[in-house]
Amino acid sequence: MKYYGDLRSFITALDEMGDIMHVHREVDGDFEPSAITRRSYEIQSPAPLFHNVAGVAPGFRLFGAPAALSSRSDMPYARVAMSLGLAPESNGPEIIEALSAARFKPGIPPLRVKSAQAECQQNILRGDAANLDRFPIPFAHDKDGGRYANTWGTLIVKTPDGKWVNWSIARVMKVDGKRMVGLIVPSQHIGQIWTQWVARGEPMPYALVQGPAPAISCVSGIPIPAHADEADYIGTLAGEPVPVVKAISLDLDVPATAEIVIEGHVSIERDCQEGPYGEYGGYLGEGSSAQPTFHVETITHRDDPIWPMSITGRPTDESHTLWAMGLAADALTYLREAELPIKTTWIPEDSTVHWLLVVMPENWRELLPGISSEELTQRIGEVLFKTDAMVFIPKVYVVDDDFDPTNLREVVWALSTRVHPVGRRAVFDDQRVIRLPQCYDEAEYVAGKGAKVVFDTLQTKRHLHASFAQGYPEEVRQRILDNWPE
């Protein structure tokens, strides 16, 4: 296992295992980088690194698909695992266990370094020179409302009293060289902090960090409890403190090894239109909404900086790997805290974060004596639908552990044969609904309320599978394997 302290060492490691696609020919500054990245997701190719983007200074680069499925079929989650300091061959449940386990360990606070030691401040741009036009920011999708300046960067904000620092990912659209507009959802942590600045009547200081250490990007995109500092949690995953440096113009600390840091203030009003944007559900966006303006005041960057991007859409991109694993780890943590004997949790990539599988061990009835599967299903829903992260998940399936939840073919087989057409489910009405999940109607989005469901697929008796593994004597199977493929 190895922790990568900056984006460049991570890219080098991916390159050494054949998982980087170098694009040296000139690509346009509008759609071509995003279209190539989107195709790389859909055919599971190496991650594209663009060395020559039209309209920007030589040396500026774009990096797509940073935490998507690997092109290495023997280690499909390598990009996510390596981002978090885990072995590249780690499987999905192992990554989820690591994310959940770190929640129970003491945090390791970041370590502030001097500006001269911080690669992110090799170049400092102020005033008119601090302009987004100098960077390669393409359109993500054809129908988007503008160029999206943030799809995989970390937004750093803190409460007015300084007691809570939040690192998160939220989509931010470029308006012009000096302005951006970002989606601020009141229930999310950045929205809660922005609300405090609004109440105070002061613009919120922010830093938008592009290309920090991969673990920073990953943790910024997953749920951890409110008022917990992501920097401390990342230190726990890394086993060492994250080096940070004081921002040039703000009282915020930023990752010292980042590629680019944009500093400024966020308006206290929703005074600019944001969107539409093609989201993780797999559909091009429609409509826009009024959101706060992010004013650009200072920019710092490394020499020859790299701007990473996630081009969301149909599976499988970072929303369906890293973010889904983070949501699953959050669910696993809360269910185990409720003293339920959960083996693992998993969100299948192809469900576009609309399904959560809760996997029960074979002996769960012994561990929960007197509890029926119906009562267990109800209890799981009661625990999960009180959590903030589960606002994104409309459907939960409680399943046995006799199949691989990370294998979509096995998931489809198990759910098709075990979900009852009308019964064996717990329906939870009037749950929180936001517009990102795609399965509700307009009235439910307007009301912010809708139904969620937990399906009980647990077998009263384990049935043997009509499969090679379970349908034949062991000695027959071994003889066949020893002589395969004769």
CA–CA dist 382, 188 (Å, integer)? 21
Domain membership flag for residue 52: no
- Helix (H/G/I), strand (E/B), else coil: 47: strand
Among the three residues 266, 291, 309, which one is the final residue of a domain in this structure? 309
The pLDDT tens digits of the residues spanning 102-116 come to 999 999 999 999 999
Q: What is the pLDDT of residue 409?
A: 96
For 216, which DSSP code?
H
The pLDDT tens digits of the residues spanning 286-316 come to 999 999 999 999 999 999 999 999 999 999 9
Confidence grade of residue 227 (pLDDT, cut at 50, 70, 90): confident
Q: Region 143-166: what's the mean pLDDT?
A: 97
Q: How distant, in Å, are the alpha carbons of 122, 137, 140, 319, 362 from that of 149?
A: 21, 6, 10, 17, 47
The verdict on 165 and 291 lying in the same domain is: yes
| 425 pLDDT more than 80 | yes
Domain membership flag for residue 117: yes
CA–CA dist 381, 403 (Å, integer)? 22
Q: Where are the alpha helices (DSSP H) in 87-155?
A: 92-102
Place of tokens 């998993």: 346
Domain membership flag for residue 483: no
| 196 pLDDT more than 80 | yes
Give 181: exposed, middle or buried? Use CB within 10 Å, 0-12, 13-18, 19+: buried
Domain membership flag for residue 134: yes
* Nearest partner of 61 among 24, 90, 91, judged by Cα: 24
The verdict on 245 and 346 lying in the same domain is: no
Residue type (1 letter), 376: L
The verdict on 153 and 231 lying in the same domain is: yes
The verdict on 90 and 231 lying in the same domain is: yes
| 209 pLDDT more than 90 | yes
Q: What is the pLDDT of residue 79?
A: 98
Confidence grade of residue 226 (pLDDT, cut at 50, 70, 90): confident
For 253, the token pair is: 């600390």
Q: Region 208-219: what's the mean pLDDT?
A: 98
Domain membership flag for residue 431: yes
The verdict on 304 and 344 lying in the same domain is: no
More confident residue, 312 or 1: 312
| 1 pLDDT more than 80 | no
Domain membership flag for residue 48: no
CA–CA dist 184, 341 (Å, integer)? 36
Q: What is the pLDDT of residue 225?
A: 87
Q: Region 188-200: what's the mean pLDDT?
A: 96
Any residues with CB less than 8 A from the CB of 11 and at least 6 apart, and which?
A: 20, 49, 63, 306
Contact 197, 162 (CB under 8 A): no
The verdict on 236 and 365 lying in the same domain is: no
Q: How many CB atoms lie within 10 A of CB 417?
A: 10
Q: What is the pLDDT of residue 485?
A: 85
The verdict on 149 and 97 lying in the same domain is: yes
Domain membership flag for residue 46: no
The pLDDT tens digits of the residues spanning 363-385 come to 999 999 999 999 999 999 999 99
Ramachandran quadrant class, 306 (left: phi over 0; alpha: psi -120 to 50; beta: rest): beta
Confidence grade of residue 228 (pLDDT, cut at 50, 70, 90): confident
Q: Which domain holds residue 102?
A: 77-309
Contact 325, 75 (CB under 8 A): no
| 452 pLDDT more than 80 | yes
For 435, the token pair is: 């517009």
State the CATH number of the domain containing residue 351. Answer: 3.40.1670.10
Q: What's the total number of domains in the chain?
A: 2
| 142 pLDDT more than 90 | yes
Question: What percentage of the chain reaches a pLDDT higher than 70?
Answer: 100
Contact 268, 197 (CB under 8 A): yes
The verdict on 367 and 281 lying in the same domain is: no
What is the rounded average pLDDT for all residues in the chain? 96
Q: Of 279, 297, 318, 349, which one is the catalytic site residue?
A: 279
Q: What is the pLDDT of residue 398?
A: 98
State the CATH number of the domain containing residue 286. Answer: 2.30.110.10
DSSP-derived secondary structure for 284-335: -----EEE-EEEEEEEEE-SS-EEEE---SSSSSTIIIIIHHHHHHHHHHHH
* Nearest partner of 431 among 382, 477, 375, 480, judged by Cα: 382
The verdict on 200 and 277 lying in the same domain is: yes
CA–CA dist 213, 233 (Å, integer)? 14
The pLDDT tens digits of the residues spanning 331-342 come to 999 999 999 999
| 187 pLDDT more than 90 | no
The verdict on 120 and 258 lying in the same domain is: yes
Confidence grade of residue 486 (pLDDT, cut at 50, 70, 90): confident
Active site residue 274: no
For 286, the token pair is: 């429609």
| CB-facing half-sphere around the CA of 105: CA atoms within 13 A | 17
CA–CA dist 325, 9 (Å, integer)? 23
- Helix (H/G/I), strand (E/B), else coil: 108: coil
The verdict on 118 and 254 lying in the same domain is: yes
Q: How distant, in Å, are the alpha carbons of 7, 156, 168 from that of 302?
A: 12, 19, 22
Lowest pLDDT segment from 183-187, 211-215, 303-307, 373-377: 183-187
Q: What is the pLDDT of residue 444?
A: 96
Q: What are phi and psi of 375, to 5 degrees?
A: -70, -40
- Helix (H/G/I), strand (E/B), else coil: 477: helix
Q: How distant, in Å, are the alpha carbons of 344, 395, 435, 440 from that of 443?
A: 35, 19, 11, 8
The verdict on 284 and 344 lying in the same domain is: no
Q: Region 6-26: what's the mean pLDDT?
A: 98
Domain membership flag for residue 122: yes
Confidence grade of residue 149 (pLDDT, cut at 50, 70, 90): very high
CA–CA dist 350, 321 (Å, integer)? 10
CA–CA dist 429, 13 (Å, integer)? 47
Q: Region 422-439: what's the mean pLDDT?
A: 94
The helix (run of H) or strand (run of E) holding residue 476 is helix 474-483
pTM: 0.94
